[in-house]
Amino acid sequence: MKTHYLFLFSVTLGLLLTLGSGQRAQSVRIVDGLKSAEILRPSPSVVVQTPDIPQFEGEQLVDIQMINPDITLDIRYATANNFLNVQLYSVPRCLLRTSVAHKLSRVQEQLQPMGLGLKVFDCYRPLSVTRKMWEALPDPRYVANPARGSRHNRGAAVDLTLIDSMGNELEMPTEFDDFTDRAARDYQGTDVSNQARQNSQLLERVMTQQGFIPLITEWWHFDAENWQDYPLLDISLEAIE
d(CA 126, CA 163): 27
Amino acid at 71: I
Q: Write b or e for each residue in 124-156: b if 16 or more Cβ atoms lie within 10 A of its Cβ, otherwise e.
A: bbbbebbbbbbeeeeeeebbbebeebbbbbbbb
d(CA 35, CA 32): 9
d(CA 127, CA 77): 13
Q: Which residue among 38, 171, 204, 218 is the active-site one?
A: 218
241 catalytic? Reply is no
**Residues noted as catalytic:** 218
